[in-house]
Structure 1
């Protein structure tokens, strides 16, 4: 497992100086990666109402800490963890594999049994599944893909056969199907990782999202 350079070619997401300059440049609050309107179906379907949720991100927050060591919180403190780009930033650092492993171990520790980690990332399964699918985490993983905000398909393109609310069937190796085509090259992948017990692995179905929560 190596440093993920696929998301680091344009911006140095692993450099704190980049983020300091970014917030000065933006001059106010802004949505990072995806707006809530696009993520709402995933949050509402996979994290129960009135749940305790931890948001980890690269933006300003009331509480700041190192995601590789969140010992401020006891084990099994949250029903859900939502990550918009934090793992991507770690994957741009020089110690990417170690940092990613430390962060994901903390996320797993903080999740209650049955809790869900939702990762919004630029990383496709070739660079994210080796980290997420480690047996120690014991996560059931479902993958989705959504276009960036404001993306418009070319008029000449053929209609998509599937909605982005449908999970992508991964290959036996945890990779995208050979015939899978990204409509938007800069789209985001959403990994829904549910923390389960050994006895639940073969019994939990893959739920299809419904449009009535849009």
Structure 2
């Protein structure tokens, strides 16, 4: 599987798979990570650094879900956050990330092979859990986005319950996503969760969503708020965004969800 390099130095898989369903196949990711050096889903750190700064401090213990070959953990480390644990389901991604971090001297960052649907951590052990585009994989065969398939909902809720469990009482879950609030809020605001839900957007024209879910901050006023009418930002795509795999991935998901 060949790779190509974009003007920003990001190595891209040759246009992505022929169908979004490939993203559900672990073999696809192992094969991809065996040849692809680096790819950033949903823009690189510089585009949302201003949003993350108020939520992560040098003293934060951070868990990154689905690290792949992203440089997110490296950028956080450069900003002074040293207690970082990264997980990925792909053994190839984990091995490559371990080697890369060691070669750069980032010895404190831990990288483990683990499933985000079955987190191997004790309760209330992280200040921050972050994922960038990782949850999107669970939605590639979700069907109608307004009424996703029960199997999809079960997986998403299992992931969210695990995140909620490993967060400290005042911890924060950061989800960087394609998913618009009117699709994500019914899941984020399920009654078993104590977190509040807020979001911002970033991106030049293609809007990405930066969700911050603060554990223990949910108020009684939040109940049922997912029924409110939400304004959807307009999308005006730039050429580089049209050519990127982010757009391919989102387009394929939308086609599957129609």
Please give the alpha-carbon distance, in whole angstroms, between the structure 2 residues aligned to 1:122 and 1:44. Answer: 21
More helix by share: 2
Q: Find the counterpart in structure 1 of residue 117 from structure 2.
A: 68
Q: Which runs of 4+ in 1 moved over 6 A?
A: none
2:242 is the alignment partner of 1:196: no
Q: Deviations over 1:127-158 (max 9, x none)?
A: 211111112112111111111xxx4xxxxxxx
Cα distance change of structure 1 residues 123 and 47 upon mapping to structure 2, 3 Å threshold: same
Q: Find the counterpart in structure 2 of residue 106 from structure 1.
A: 162
Residue 96 of structure 1 and its aligned partner are, at CA, apart by: 1.4
Residue 21 of structure 1 and its aligned partner are, at CA, apart by: 3.7
**Partners of 2:62 and 2:130 within 8 A in 1:** yes
Q: Find the counterpart in structure 2 of residue 47 from structure 1.
A: 56
Residue in structure 2 matching 1:88, options 136, 144, 160: 136
Residue 10 of structure 1 and its aligned partner are, at CA, apart by: 5.4
**Partners of 2:55 and 2:172 within 8 A in 1:** yes
**Runs (5+) with no aligned partner, structure 2:** 1-17, 69-92, 95-110, 143-150, 222-258
Residue 55 of structure 1 and its aligned partner are, at CA, apart by: 0.4
Q: Deviations over 1:144-190 (max 9, x none)?
A: 1111xxx4xxxxxxxxxxxxxxxxxxxxxxxxxxxxxxx42xx3111
2:173 is the alignment partner of 1:124: no
**Runs (5+) with no aligned partner, structure 1:** 1-8, 152-182, 203-214
Please give the alpha-carbon distance, in whole angstroms, between the structure 2 residues aligned to 1:90 and 1:58. Answer: 16
Q: RCO greater where, 1 or 2, for CA within 8 Å and sep 6 or more?
A: 1
TM-score for the superposition, normalised by structure 2? 0.54
**Partners of 2:196 and 2:217 within 8 A in 1:** no
Please give the alpha-carbon distance, in whole angstroms, between the structure 2 residues aligned to 1:90 and 1:141. Answer: 20
**Partners of 1:78 and 1:115 within 8 A in 2:** yes
Please give the alpha-carbon distance, in whole angstroms, between the structure 1 residues aligned to 2:184 and 2:53. Answer: 24
**Partners of 2:138 and 2:156 within 8 A in 1:** yes
For the aligned residue pairs, the C-alpha RMSD in angstroms reads 2.4
